[in-house]
């Protein structure tokens, strides 16, 4: 990784923290001693920071240079039957939602999957989303398993394709299952878009349909962490 890439990863990480509400420009200015206009220009991509300035921000946010490195990507490993496996990082729901490039410290473990499973998946992403690390896995929580039973089970793993943020179905007459940002949380539901609202539909009809208003300047894809491409039972 070169300096330009590390610079951009720091910018995206700070924007992610601001989106989550744990950081603001004014707070960062107080922590680092930099002026708010200087920081705002950096966050908008209008100016670069010096190495000294980056070090000061890293220290203020309790980050290290290693936190800006991407997690191990889908590296091939030969399995016993000769088929290549890829490894996908298992991460928290927050990391799946907000981290374009998963930091090593955010990886809980790595899940091996046959390469053919991932290579055959179709993406439907905006140009900005194509810059994100594509595949991550999350654990299914009870709050999501119950409305989606029997499709989802508590403590199963859900493989997310974060390059698929279109509401077009991958297969005709079969709804896609998505990981959706609902407030500051991630939830797993079928999704439609009606009258400027995301409609979150459960599989279990005993649970209610939920609506999410799309804010001005946002698109439906902005609220989608990705399509659930695979459900893996927990061992």
DSSP result, 99-126: -SS--GGG--EEEEEEHHHHHTPPPB--
pLDDT for the residue numbered 128: 78
pLDDT, tens only, 46-87: 888 888 888 999 899 888 877 777 655 444 443 344 456 788
Residue 127: its pLDDT value, please? 79
Total-model pTM = 0.68
**Per-residue pLDDT reduced to its tens digit, 80-115:** 444 567 889 999 999 999 888 888 888 999 988 888
Give the chain's mean pLDDT: 85
User: Look-up: residue for tokens 């939920």?
Assistant: 210
- Mean pLDDT over 32-37 rounds to 92
Distance CA(42)–CA(61), nearest Å, equals 16
CA distances from 215 to 27, 218, 224, 232 (A): 25, 5, 14, 34
Per-residue model confidence (pLDDT) at position 1: 59
Cβ distance 220 to 214 under 8 Å? yes
* Higher pLDDT pick, 128 / 144: 144
* % the chain with pLDDT above 70: 91
Under CATH, domain 86-232 is a member of which superfamily? Umud Fragment, subunit A (2.10.109.10)
Bridge partners for 191 per DSSP: 200
Domain(s) labelled CATH 1.10.260.40 in the chain stretch across 3-68
Q: Where in the chain is the domain with CATH 2.10.109.10?
A: 86-232
- Assigned CATH class of 3-68: mainly alpha
């Amino acid at each position: 990784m070169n300096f330009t890439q590390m610079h951009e990863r720091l910018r995206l990480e700070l924007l992610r923290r601001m989106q989550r509400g744990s950081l603001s420009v004014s707070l960062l200015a107080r922590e680092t001693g930099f002026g708010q206009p200087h920081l705002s220009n950096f966050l908008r991509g209008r100016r670069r920071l010096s190495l000294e300035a980056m070090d000061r921000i890293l220290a203020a946010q309790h980050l290290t240079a290693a936190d800006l490195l991407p997690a191990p990507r889908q590296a091939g490993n030969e399995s016993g039957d000769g088929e290549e496996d890829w490894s996908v990082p298992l991460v928290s729901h927050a990391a799946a939602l907000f981290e374009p490039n998963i930091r090593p410290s955010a990886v809980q473990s790595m899940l091996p999957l046959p390469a053919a499973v991932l290579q055959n998946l179709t993406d439907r992403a905006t140009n900005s989303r194509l810059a994100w690390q594509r595949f991550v896995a999350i654990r299914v929580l009870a709050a999501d398993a119950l409305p989606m039973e029997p499709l989802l089970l508590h403590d199963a793993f859900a493989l997310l394709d974060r390059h698929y943020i279109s509401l077009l179905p991958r297969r005709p007459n079969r709804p896609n299952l998505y990981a959706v940002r609902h407030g500051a949380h991630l939830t797993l539901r079928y999704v439609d878009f009606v009258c400027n609202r995301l409609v979150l539909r459960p599989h279990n009809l005993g649970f209610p349909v939920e609506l999410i208003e799309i804010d001005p300047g946002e698109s439906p894809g902005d609220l989608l962490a990705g399509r659930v491409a695979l459900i893996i039972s927990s061992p």
